[in-house]
Chains A and B, each alone.
Chain A
Amino acid sequence: MLKASLSSKVDPRDAKLSMAHFYVAFTALLVGGLAGLLQVLVRSGKFQLPFGIGYYQVLTVHGVLLGLVLTTFFILGFHLAAVSKTSGTLTNKQRTVGWIGFWIALVGTVMAAVMVLLNQASVLFTFYAPLKAHALFYLGLTLVVVGSWFNSAVIIMKYAEWRRANPGQPSPLLTFMALINTLMWCVATIGVASTVLIQLLPWSLGIVDTVNVGISRTLFWYFGHPLVYFWLLPAYMAWYVVVPKVIGTKVFSDSLARMSFILFLLFSIPVGFHHQLLEPGIDPAWKFLQVILTFLVVIPSLMTAFSLFATFESFGRSKGATGLFGWLKKLPWGDARFTVPFIGMVAFIPGGAGGMVNASHQMNQVVHNTIWVTGHFHLTVATAVVLTYFGVTFWLVPHLTGRTLTKKMNKLALTQGILWAVGMTFMSGAMHAAGLLGAPRRSSFSEYGGAAQAAEWIPYQIAQAVGGSILFIAVLLMVYIFINLAFFAPKGEQEFPVGEATNQAEKAPMVFENWKLWLGITVLLILFAYTIPFIDLIQNAPPGAKGGRFW
């Protein structure tokens, strides 16, 4: 049965559901990318927004569309396709649940987008209370999350069905990975759903006057850090399972890949305080505990780095490579399905190192809320993750639409990846440098009353505008490639590459499928890291904040 499902195509009905998600994702990329271009231009000091449009409104569009909409819709679409491919076609009931989820999330997205465009919600994508957006903005975001829960239910149902049909067998690797990411998402979204439904929505509707800022932020960041792993793990799925097949080799180790995903599930959530290190109201000992838990994801990250480069090296050597780095020459650099995600992997090395600085108990103070942080996550999510999504798009979209990636498109895709790398080197590099000098993130162009220090930042802001403009060209290319692959590429068969494990005989230990155990440990770690400081925040709460609309 496993063999049969591996060789088959994703069912056209499931393909349609996946593609629906991708249309939304790439629309978000186009509009969000344009917003990004406007921002870097404004911040260069040489350009002003027309028609009285506010910088922070554009910034909200950029963050919501790229940070929330592009990622969430792409991930849901990719999960569905990966599970349908490796565990079999969805049942009609599962697919219906998936469509309901899609429409709920889309309605929510449109509601939030309309409020942002009407300037009723210029609160950025983190919507920190007590900046008070229109209630429909919060309701829209809630619907996006609720819709994602329906799609999560599809993944969980399909997994359960596969396990029932194959007792005693480890689930297909891609399904297992999609399930882990889904479970992490479900546990994490409880936090953001709680603050929005219990605190922000009643307050924005005028039912209550004030909001407890400390609790709202803590619930937000309980969700906010697993959110970044929710973005990252689909890229890891592609790195572990897809890329080896693309270059024509096997998955380095099925069991170790599963173990690293389990570790991500455990250590992604009880770590939100490392985003709140400089905040009052939280005892520093609890901050430190969460710093330690944060750093434990270093272990699965090192495992991932090892297994990827081991895959590449053993492939190169099997092709006769010699010397320490001779295998690099044997890699299929002309194949965008490999090269574009590979650029992403490389970007993740400085991205991860910068992340360690950010999460360090003390060093955080040097960079917190400076544009260094913006530079950091443009390396991680906006390069490593997004270029891998693009690398997936190059084969997944034609696979789903019954078309092929032509030589010409492949070439364009390579150009796209290289332009992205060049643009991001300028933009992210300049952001890191300016951040170390103190330039703040999330701020419009300002000379800060003619301060000499602020004048030093302006050349870096011009470099950001140069990089950002190159990136926008890369965005346009990517949207063009997507439209080609979705509607115009020649009909044909495009492979859905799923790598097989090196040692098929060695079955993954069944303990990895024991969800009572792994979810149990996840919950225990969360309770351990959060219970006491959270009770402290409630018991020692100051009078609430009224807040309001400040834009």
Chain B
Amino acid sequence: MHMHKFEKIWLIFGVTALLVFLTVLGVSAFYLGNQPPSCLATVDPEKVDTTAPFNEPGLKKVEGKDWDYELVFVAQAFAYTPGDVEVPLGAKVKVIATTKDVIHGFEVAGTNINMMVEPGYISELVTTFDKPGEYLVLCNEYCGSGHHMMTSKIKVVE
């Protein structure tokens, strides 16, 4: 099978660029720990309200962990609990969320906080709030007629 010389050069260049790109992603994921939220824990979607930590949604200071606070959200059509919350500036926070009914999104607009929330599963990610201000939390996965009304607020305060 004949391949034009220029095509060989083009493909060698392209494949090399691809390998560099994938290496960067791999080093970021496995060496620097930048993995997408992939919590493996589960919860009975019918018993969310009585299962810790979802029985007490909101911000809680924790000791002896890699993060200073845990911020627990419960999603259901078409609201988040808590409806708004204050977080101290610079705090390292583990966000923990689940849903009581259908699939929802959990996005904090203007940040990289973005994850799917699915019934039966717990979603987690660790983040640092290093810019003060008011952030909009919204549902970015269609969940029904009130989907676009489903919001919360995170105030990062000094």
Contacts and interface: CB of A to CB of B under 8 A. Distances in A.
Interface of A: 54, 56, 122, 124, 128, 130-131, 212-214, 217, 253, 255-256, 259, 276-284, 287-288, 291-292, 295, 298-299, 302-303, 306-307, 310, 356, 360-362, 364-366, 368-370, 437-446, 448-449, 451-454, 503, 506, 508-509, 540-548, 550-551
A550 B10 contact: no
Nearest to A280: B121
A291 B21 CA distance: 12
A361 B138 contact: no
Interface of B: 1-4, 6-7, 10-11, 14-15, 18, 21-22, 25-26, 28-30, 34-46, 77, 101-103, 105, 107, 109-110, 112, 114-116, 118-124, 134-136, 138-145, 147-149, 151, 153
Contact of A303 (B11, B22, B115): B11
8 contacts: A130-B101, A131-B103, A278-B115, A362-B29, A368-B140, A438-B136, A443-B148, A448-B138
Contacts of B114: 278, 365-366, 368-369
Contacts of A302: 10-11, 14-15
Nearest to A305: B10
B10 A306 contact: yes
Contact of B29 (A361, A437, A440): A361
Contacts of A364: 36
Contacts of A452: 134
A542 B101 contact: no
B90 to A, nearest CB: 21
Contacts of B43: 542
A542 B36 contact: no
Contacts of A307: 7
Contacts of B29: 284, 288, 361-362
Contact of B36 (A255, A287, A547): A287
B86 to A, nearest CB: 16
Given A259-B1, A542-B45, A278 B37 contact: yes
Contacts of A362: 25, 28-29, 34, 36
Contacts of A542: 42-45, 119-121
Given A56-B142, A369-B114, A438 B107 contact: yes
B123 A280 contact: yes
A292 B24 CA distance: 12
Nearest to A536: B40
B11 A130 contact: no
A361 B77 CA distance: 29
A236 to B, nearest CB: 17
Nearest to B13: A302
B25 A360 contact: yes
Contacts of B2: 253, 255, 503, 506
What 5 A-B pairs are tightest by C-beta distance, nearest first?
A550-B144, A542-B120, A438-B109, A542-B42, A545-B119
A540 B148 contact: no
B140 A131 contact: no
B14 A440 contact: no
Given A124-B142, A369-B105, A542-B43, A214 B118 contact: yes
Contacts of A546: 45-46, 101
A527 to B, nearest CB: 22
A452 to B, nearest CB: 7
Nearest to A213: B118
A138 B120 CA distance: 23
A543 B44 contact: yes
Most chain B CB inside 10 Å of its own CB: which residue of A128, A360, A542: A542
Contacts of A306: 6-7, 10-11
